[in-house]
Amino acid sequence: MTRERPPAEAGTPGRIPPVYRAVMAAAGPIVRWWGRLEVEGLDTVPASGATIIPANHDSAWDPVVIAHAARRRRQIQALAKASLWKNPLLRRILDGMGQIPVRRGQADTDALDAAVQRLASGGCIGIFPEGTRSQGRQLRARSGVGRLAQAVPEARIVCAAVSGTVDIARFPRRPRLKVTFFEPTPPPPGESALELAARLTAELRTVAPVQS
């Protein structure tokens, strides 16, 4: 039977699971050497405490590249599509990394509750406000990141604009990966969850335009 939620111990703040470390090590040659990763603004990522990292999404490589860019500061527990858990081996890896499955196309309150619990415990949650890969399209923001921020108002928000990831698989063309971490502009009074998500998405796309 497919496990719906990752084990709690994998998401304990301050403890980076061995599986997470192993995946980051395995991804290193692709991300750092082949991808020539450049990282800016890493010092804006808090070393501890509740943190939300919204990011743009153009490639399946985005979560790995962003996590690798932030690895010296934080373990990022990302909200990922639940269909990935259908593969038994991948399920064990994702669970071991403390990732959170979310059912797309519907209001997954279980996933949001799990993310809120991790945040409230001082965790670092990664989320794609656009909900899915852009595939060259300009997508509208979804309210999930805003709802997280409202549920845990003390959480810091640090955006991660990632570019170059769509070129990773275009061998022999070498990509030039870049992750820029930055703090978003201060929220205006009375901003709704959806308005927050739209603002973050717009700021991310200013730094990292849609790739195809």
pLDDT attached to residue 13 = 54
167, exposed or middle or buried, with CB in 10 Å at 0-12, 13-18, 19+? middle
| Residue 121 belongs to some domain of the structure | yes
Question: Tell me: the pLDDT tens digits for 74-123?
Answer: 999 999 999 999 999 999 999 999 999 998 766 678 999 999 999 999 99
Question: Tell me: the pLDDT tens digits for 49-73?
Answer: 999 999 999 999 999 999 999 999 9
Q: Which residues pair with 80 in a beta bridge?
A: 101
Number of domains in the chain: 1
Residue 91's domain spans which residues?
14-207
Query: Which CATH number covers residue 98?
Result: 3.40.1130.10
What beta strand segments (E) does 98-158 contain?
100-102, 124-127, 156-157
DSSP letter at 26? H
pLDDT attached to residue 106 = 67
